[in-house]
């Protein structure tokens, strides 16, 4: 089995490729839930939705969130009656928030309603939230400590970042399906998708059961760098790295993850970093990592899986 750890856009792009090359019995996609929040009475899970919409082929490729062919009647009507409009909820997108909120209110777990929704979208691979209980990212900034969506959406990531906290992570309730996989001893590799290291992957690793499992691994952890040619392809990962005093390069990402990762996948644009990364004791694969369409996602996923197999047989 292979477990992929994913945030939103970068995670979803690699997840699509992995799902194309690995069967649902082999691949499980574990998704960050620390961006989740309650808004207008709805339970919103941005990264789960991005992964689900992308796997289902209904995501909006231009925004990286929400659905394609969206309409905004609800938002316009909400504005007319004086509702909060800083967080955009499209008419189609709303359907998922309504069903999730109802299910949670009736006592279902986040992993159960995620499974139901994913199935209805025709997704065959398990998409599993990292936690069934609330874990919430708090961003320490020069404007004080902010809730994640306040920092990310309302303030467009403008405040200077000083650190992060994942409230609730110590008591996170790992979904039963993920616990079974962890305890099965059948996992042959963990793939860290090219998601934001600080606010997408760190929260997943901060869940004690998941973190301890990976730290004591007898399988390789492969990561794809989310920084390509010194920039984040989307979102504030590079800005965060600079603000936290690390170089916004693939090497900076390698140093950030340290012992969490055994094998690195970096882009051709960063090929010159291969030697330095190898000197840190890591295996390195240089390839095309920019996934601007499904076939590129699949091609990269094939290479990642082969790389994981090669590292696994050497372990
Ligand atoms: P979010 O939760 O939607 O913000 O998305 P993620 O945390 O999953 O992903 C954000 C990161 O994905 C950014 O640092 C991007 O540079 C990275 N990313 C997005 N698309 C790609 C891609 O095609 N290739 C690689 N290597 N990184 C990508
Ligand atoms: Ca996210």
Residues whose beta carbon lies within 6 Å of some atom of ligand 1: 7-11, 13, 47, 50, 64, 194-196, 200, 224-226, 228, 232-235, 237, 289-291
Nearest ligand to the CA of 63 is 1
pLDDT one-digit tens code per residue, 230-274 = 999 999 999 999 999 999 999 999 999 999 999 999 999 999 999
pLDDT at 61: 86
Look at the chain and report how many structural domains it folds into. 1
CA distance 8 to 142: 26
User: Of 308, 264, 310, 272, which is closest to residue 289 (Cα–Cα)?
Assistant: 264
Atom of ligand 1 nearest to the CA of 65: 3
Mark the ranges of the chain whose per-residue pLDDT is less than 50. none
CATH of the domain at 96: 3.40.50.10680
Which structural domain range is residue 109 located in? 2-313
């Amino acid at each position: 089995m292979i477990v992929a750890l994913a945030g939103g856009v970068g995670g979803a792009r690699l997840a699509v490729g992995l799902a194309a090359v690995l069967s649902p019995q082999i691949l499980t996609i574990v998704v960050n839930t620390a961006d989740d929040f309650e808004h207008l009475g709805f339970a919103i899970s941005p990264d789960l939705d991005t992964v689900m919409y992308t796997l289902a082929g209904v995501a909006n490729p231009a925004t990286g969130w929400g659905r394609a062919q969206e309409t905004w009647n609800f938002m316009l009507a909400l504005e007319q009656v004086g509702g909060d409009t800083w967080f955009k909820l499209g008419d189609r997108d709303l359907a998922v928030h309504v069903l999730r909120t109802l299910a949670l209110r009736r006592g279902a777990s986040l992993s159960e309603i995620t499974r139901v929704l994913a199935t209805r979208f025709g997704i065959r691979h398990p998409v599993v939230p990292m936690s069934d209980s609330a874990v919430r990212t708090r961003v320490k900034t020069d404007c004080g400590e902010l809730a994640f969506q306040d920092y990310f959406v309302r303030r467009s990531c403008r405040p200077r970042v000083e650190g992060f906290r994942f409230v609730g992570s110590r008591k996170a309730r790992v979904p039963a399906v993920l616990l079974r996989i962890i305890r099965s001893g059948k996992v042959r590799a963990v793939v860290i998708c090219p998601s934001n290291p600080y606010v997408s992957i760190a929260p997943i690793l901060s869940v004690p059961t998941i973190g301890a499992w990976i730290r004591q691994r007898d399988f390789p952890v492969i990561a794809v760098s989310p920084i390509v040619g010194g920039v984040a392809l989307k979102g504030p990962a590079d800005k965060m790295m600079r603000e936290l005093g690390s170089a916004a390069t693939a090497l900076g990402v390698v140093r950030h993850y340290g012992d969490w990762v055994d094998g690195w996948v970096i882009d051709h644009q960063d090929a010159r970093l291969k030697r330095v990364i190898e000197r840190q004791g890591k295996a390195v694969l240089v390839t095309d990592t920019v996934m601007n369409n499904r076939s590129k996602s699949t091609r990269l996923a094939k290479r990642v899986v082969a790389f994981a197999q090669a590292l696994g047989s050497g372990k």
